[in-house]
Chains A and B, each alone.
Chain A
């Protein structure tokens, strides 16, 4: 096990812990960049979905994982981003490079308004409020008639950046990858700043955070804003990946899928959002391989995918509430300190949280 000798506070806010870590992440980035050389279009499209979902997941991670506000309405912001982006592109011929940030900003402002309203709610009440936002948004978009295309939906034009058509899988893949990496850096940066630390303080104990002088209402709304900006950005990219958007696409189911994604990935960590996205997007592909070896009666029965998904989810909630990333850190730690591993290392210490559970 490697112990870092701390010489200055700057070390605490470095992007990478040490050179080894930096090496691994840069290696991953290099492999990801080179992926179009050895993967076919199908896998590149799948990975594009992973990146886009990871962006939406990062947003939700800021909200739920960092500031501790549960949200069943993330898909509403994704929808707002997707629709704003598509409408700007098709109806107002706004350039792509401008349209995407505007879409993210519009979603962010709606998120800010929602955050301001819901900021005083906790737990179950917040869950219900955000859930209703998901439902209302879907209905509003559907009922808005010609402006949003109603329930019939809108078709999404191809990505075109400054006259350069992004029309092939590998181009879309690279674009999504670059934006994805940018988003990770932003969130990573957020956790190192004052606002990020304020959010975590609010998550761990609102009373203590307030006592320490943190503006709770502001940072809660701020978390909603950031989260919705990411969702809107993901929405804009998702619209291109879907080619056609309808309000149903961003229904309640999608919100719940996003929430499950960060829970399975490991709540409260950046890795969690990424691992969760891999899980959600690639599981059907993996299952389709599993199906080949299964007897055809099982493989062709309808509910197989849902059943497998449900069982895996159940397994995580029962046996590994820290998610995929939590499991990974434990395994990593096990080998790091071998043979001195003790379960207690990962026991939750902050028992004072219990007093605030039911608010």
Chain B
């Protein structure tokens, strides 16, 4: 039935002429991909390594002769994490650069704003750098997401602690934005399964530099587990402030904070912080084989450790390459999307997470992991989380 719907959608699009050119971004010897990410704004810490990872895999593929005789090209634009800028650059990518597909576009509000017209223009939105559920739902032939949603991440986090160690007074410290809202939603939804309620909930904005009032509220409520539904900086601030006040519940956060800067922040104050993530942040030291080669060659090219976002960027292009290989020399958007849908046993070469898609499943990574900071380093506490 879904196949039929997909086919119908394509027919409709072809009929209205939206895909009249069909092969936008594809020439005899080149496939042009595009992305918009944050290279100089508040999320540059995500965007810059991502861009490097994307470029690195593209360069590798090109050095190895490209795909079916075509070289890959990726055009990366900076949004500064502002929706207006994102609209402008996406407009440029779609209309001037004539990209074949959008890969790893960063930011939930940006994706939500751009996706409708992008899909109408027949440009697939592949693996956006956002773990919002709208990235794959409602099901659309043009939408493929990599991550499991923020909501899922937090539901799995709640379920994990319910089974391992239990808790009695769960609390939420939420960042006032759409990601924070989705994360907090996961906590309340999962707690409802156990007939539990959130004991205390605080909200802070991204620009706040003092979390004292939030932390005091949480402390007075006597929370024994605090779900940090937020970003990088506020997570560090809440945990560090709590340590200073002698308030030490279990802290659990989501994938946004999964980076070295968080693990090493505030002189070891982050030790014991838990995090639920759909991807694995691999270290060159603990890896072997292909993963080790990738991590080391990244460090060689960019002169720094391969950040998890760079690993994601690398994997995104790798997945695209797999689909393009399978789609063959006679490339069409339908063929490419069908090939993506047929990916069922892909294993991420760096983190080892398995990725699969299907006619009714446009969300790639299946299982979640629980990471934990130990001695200023991220370690893996558990794999295969679910709820």
Contact = CB atoms under 8 A, between A and B. Distances in A.
Given A142-B177, A155-B112, A302-B39, A46 B88 contact: yes
Interface stretch (A91-99, A239-247, A266-274): A239-247
B112 A248 contact: no
Given A150-B178, A302-B78, A305-B78, A248 B89 contact: no
Contacts of B77: 288
B176 A143 contact: yes
A306 B78 CA distance: 10
A248 B80 contact: no
Contacts of B176: 139, 142-143, 151
B138 interface: no
Contacts of A242: 83-84, 87, 113
A302 B48 contact: yes
B205 A139 contact: yes
A306 B179 CA distance: 26
Nearest to A287: B78
Contacts of B112: 153, 155, 244, 246
Contacts of B44: 302
B85 interface: yes
B178 A152 contact: yes
A246 B47 contact: no
B11 to A, nearest CB: 20
16 contacts: A42-B96, A46-B91, A139-B205, A151-B181, A152-B181, A152-B182, A155-B112, A244-B113, A246-B112, A248-B83, A281-B88, A284-B85, A300-B51, A300-B55, A302-B44, A302-B47
A254 B84 contact: yes
Given A42-B95, A42-B96, A302-B40, A246 B83 contact: yes
A249 interface: yes
B155 to A, nearest CB: 18
Contacts of B109: 153, 244, 246, 248-249
A303 interface: yes
Interface in B165-204: 176-178, 180-182, 203
Contacts of B178: 150-153, 246, 248
Interface of A: 40-42, 45-46, 49, 139, 142-143, 150-153, 155, 241-246, 248-249, 253-254, 281, 284-285, 288, 300-306
- Chain B contact residues: helix, strand, loop or mixed: helix
A46 B117 CA distance: 15
Interface string B128-150: 00000000000000000000000
Interface string B42-69: 0010011001000100000000000000
A253 B48 CA distance: 21
Residue among B77, B109, B116 with most chain A CB within 10 A: B109
A143 B203 CA distance: 10
Contacts of B91: 42, 45-46
Contacts of A241: 87
B114 interface: yes
B124 to A, nearest CB: 18
Residue among A142, A151, A153, A242 with most chain B CB within 10 A: A151
B92 interface: yes
Contacts of A243: 87, 113-114, 116-117
A301 B44 CA distance: 11
A253 B177 CA distance: 16
A155 B177 contact: no
A241 B85 CA distance: 12
A59 to B, nearest CB: 17
Contacts of A245: 113
A49 B113 contact: no
Contacts of A281: 88
Nearest to A149: B178
B82 interface: yes
Contacts of B315: none
